[in-house]
Structure 1
Amino acid sequence: MSSQLPEPSADERAHSDRLLTHLREEIASHGAMPFSQYMERCLYAPGLGYYSAGKTKFGEAGDFITAPELGELFARCVVNATYPVLALLGSDADFLELGGGSGAFAEAALKAFAEASSLPGHYYILEPSADLRERQRERLATALPADIFARVQWLDRPPEQDWQGVLFANEVIDALPTTRFALRDGEVYEEYVALDGEGRLMRVDRPADALVSGAVRHVERDIETEFANGYRSEVLPQLPYWMQAIGGSLRAGLMLFIDYGYVRREFYLPERNDGTLRAYYRHRSHNDPFYLPGLNDLTASVDFTALAEAGNSAGFGVAGYMPQAQFLIGSGLQAAFEQAYEAAPDEAARYRLAQEVKKLTMPDQMGERFQAMLFARNMDVVPLPAELLEADQGDRL
């Protein structure tokens, strides 16, 4: 597998080796670690994890391209869907973005909010990575007028005080450290990471604890199917606690999550018997999570039924669920495209806009692979666009 991937530079390999040394020392001292802990270290270890180090992550120079990196249309549609909520809640309504990426979304969204005369009181970015936070700050300080940039504040933890407004997360759930499980002779096992006799990382299975086993049995009951012997997949038993942590202080407003994934019955199809875990390295996807730790983005698809359950348990109601293409179309994609097309300076820019729409909406691109889920809380009326409400597929959950 690794022979098909680009060779890392000497500096990159040395960086990965430093993280690998830390992982080996931790496993040697404390024993095998749950895969979720391994994934957390690979993504977020201070100074060494994928999101904590200085390597470019997003766009053509990185390892993957997110919707905001394609252009401004995605952010403008999100603004179209959410600014009526901010307007209804009043001048003290805020906007909170989880994981600001390169800052591309915040830049485009704040410009669109300003054009709609609906700027939030504050635009919060919850960004645990100091490196990404600084990149975002530099970008937004350069791109935005001073009075708009002054509304941007960075957080390293969810708000503790009650607030109202909109919480938005694009490709965040897939990066939560996931638990890997397997079924053996009818019993639930959890996947761990250990060392072999030569100090290499290896996978081992151990009997699951009550939390993991209970989460797996809940899935089986819900889909009315027992997993076959040897079936391996992912589950997020911590998702309800995470949802309460990030959304618990939102006393009134809307949450919008966009990510790739499936409803539960599609997530746990019999033929998907090795789960959805993937690694991304320089725009190439592979299935070896032990290859160059710290240089790969590790992700797992989202069980949107589990996300709905977590939102409900945190006191929110599902206000809408649909593929990304339907969300964007229902949120004014056509009008946003036409406006941008008319303002485009040349044919090359118009071509890029057309390609952007295709990537965002085509079924074999992001249109069907990505899903949008909206939650509402303490709102007598949820002022979403009528086209968006008509596109709801919540009955599939």
Structure 2
Amino acid sequence: MNPIAHQPDSLPAPGPGALAQSEALVAQLRAELEAAGGWLPFDRYMERALYSPGFGYYSGGARKFGLRGDDGSDFVTAPELSPLFAPTLARPVAEALQASGTRNLLEFGAGTGKLAAGLVNALDELGVEFDSYSIVDLSGELRERQRETIEAAAPALAAKVRWLDALPEQFEGVVIGNEVLDAMPVKLFANLGGVWHERGVVWRDEAFAFEDRPVTRSGPADHALLAEIETFGENYVTETHDAARAFIRTVCTMLTRGAAFFIDYGFPQHEYYHAQRAQGTLMCHYRHRAHGDPFLYPGLQDITAHVEFTGIAEAGVEAGADLLGFTSQARFLMNAGITDALSSIDPTDTTRFLPAANAVQKLLSEAEMGELFKVIAFSRGLTETLKAFSSGDRSHTL
């Protein structure tokens, strides 16, 4: 394969080492395609492109998180964008720990480690004692980066942080997942000529390509969902989120007492499956540029889809957890006190205040992350609503 065949003119080419890694993954995918008869469902392709051991985007060594494309990164998340994000999130986390009488934390996909470092420091400043902060991350490169970040930013608390290779069967405490659900593999479906097809991947003309087949393999849940959105007519493309729902069921089954917070971009079902969203939400990120080609440099770019939060809520409740709340990121952070944190910075100190204010504006603005990003939380053993959901809760929209 020549990966350059898919390269948009505006995107930089990777270096020789990265390109060799991508080509090795392409060879593996081609072998799997051949063994499967020449066609793979898209969710399998996405899983391999992101998580194939040693070669996938999240399991390989590519740099992912950063502020600019010229540093080799592909996107920035809230903890990297603003140092006020972690201390603000720490307040509802502390409230959940205290309300549940638990003393442990567990983070999925900890990125650079800035959120973990910020949370442990903020909890310490709040006087909230905890026994352990566990991190589940598939990337060895990111684990090392997280370790370095935490040891540098929170040296007195670094000994409490540990990395897990597998989920515990049971967990009491608070679970955190920031931009984790959007990286779960999705199935693609296309309504063509009034008939639902599953969109899969083939090898054609020395490159990966889409090929649609009439729906035969999806489960009953997908059949029911596709029947509901069929009224949107022909040539309508969308996703379903079996992997994310299964993940939430696993987490909420594991959680025996405490709370689980997930922060991500997406919509409730009635907004997600909408006639105006006719080409779905699948997108890719490479060097801080968004584009729509999931076959560009397999293993070197992020592939994501917006989260369908109604299905996420249903999965958690089906697992026996309570829905603690659902709201926009802006409302959640304001309820948790991010504007108070900003006001504590002297506005005459422009070198500190202006960058902090600009970052908070991006977190809260409807035109940036404030409305597109949502926060959903589940709980067991909590009887009171957290302050972060005290106003603007949208659980009724799910």
Question: Into which bin does the TM-score normalised by the smaller protein fall?
Answer: over 0.9
Deviation at 1:210, TM superposition (A): 5.3
Task: Find out whether 1:82 has 2:93 as its counterpart.
Answer: yes
Name the aligned partner's letter for residue 163 of structure 1.
F
Instruction: Provide the residue aligned with 2:60 in structure 1.
Output: 53
Superposed displacement of residue 140, structure 1: 1.2
| Bigger shift: residues 10-19 or 57-66 | 10-19
Q: Is residue 24–residue 199 contact of structure 1 (8 Å, CA) maintained in 2?
A: no
Secondary structure of residue in 1 paired with 2:79: helix
Other structure's SS at 1:54 match: coil
Three-state SS of the structure 1 residue aligned to 2:264 is: strand
2:314 maps to 309
Distance 2:235 2:306 in 1: 20
Matches within 5 A, 1:163-242: 163-196=171-204, 198-209=205-216, 211-212=218-219, 214-218=221-225, 220-221=227-228, 226-242=231-247
Moved more, 23-32 or 172-181: 23-32
From 263, 267, 270, the counterpart of 2:272: 267
| Pairwise CA distance, 1:112 | 0.2
Query: What do residues 79-108 of structure 1 show as CA deviations (whole Å, max 9, x unaligned)?
Result: 111202212333x52111111101010011
Which letter does structure 1 place at the counterpart of 2:384? V
Q: Which residue of 1 aligns with 2:4?
A: none
Shift of 1:70: 1.1
What amino acid sits opposite 1:218 in the alignment? Answer: L
Cα deviation, residue 331, structure 1: 0.5
What's 2:49 paired with? 42
2:17 to 8, 11, 33: 11
1:346 deviation in Å? 4.4
Q: Which amino acid aligns with 2:366?
A: P
1-structure distance, mates of 2:375, 2:124: 24
Cα distance in structure 2, aligned partners of 1:292 and 1:195: 15
Q: CA deviation at 1:345?
A: 10
Is 1:71 matched with 2:79? no
8 Å Cα contact 2:196-2:226 kept in structure 1: no
After the TM superposition, which residues 1-397 of structure 1 pair with which residues of structure 2 at under 5 Å, given as runs?
A: 2-31=8-37, 32-60=39-67, 61=71, 62-90=73-101, 92-146=102-156, 148-160=157-169, 162-196=170-204, 198-209=205-216, 211-212=218-219, 214-218=221-225, 220-221=227-228, 226-339=231-344, 341-342=345-346, 346-382=349-385, 384-385=386-387, 388-397=389-398
Q: Which amino acid aligns with 2:106?
A: L
1-structure distance, mates of 2:220, 2:195: 8
Contact 1:16 1:294 in 2 (8 A): yes
What are the ranges of 5 or more consecutive residues in structure 1 without an aligned counterpart? none
Gaps of at least 5 residues in structure 2 are 1-6
AA aligned to 2:79 is: P
TM-score normalised by structure 1 residue count: 0.92
Distance 1:22 1:353, change over 3 A: same
Give the aligned residue type for 1:164.
E
**Quick one: distance in 1 between partners of 2:282 and 2:146?**
28
CA contact (8 A) 1:289 1:298 kept: yes
Q: Distance in 2 between matches of 1:363 and 1:216?
A: 34
Deviation at 1:316, TM superposition (A): 1.5
Q: CA deviation at 1:130?
A: 1.6
CA contact (8 A) 1:216 1:235 kept: no
| Residue-by-residue CA offset, 1:200-244 (whole Å, 9 max, x unaligned) | 1111112333544632523643x7x62412211100124432222
Offset of residue 120 of structure 1: 2.1
> Tell me, what secondary structure is at the counterpart of 1:373?
strand
Q: Report the secondary structure of 2:35's partner residue.
A: helix
Q: Which amino acid aligns with 1:85?
A: A
Deviations 1:6-28 (A, max 9, x none): 23223332222221122112212
The AA in structure 2 aligned to 1:234 is: E
1:281 offset after TM fit, Å?
Answer: 0.4
Matched AA of 2:164? L
CA-to-partner distance for each residue in 1:155-208, whole Å, 9 max, x for gaps?
Answer: 122211x22111111100000011111123443321111111x33111111233
Cα distance, 1:64 vs. partner? 0.4
Partner SS state of residue 393, structure 2: coil
Contact 2:109 2:136 in 1 (8 A): yes
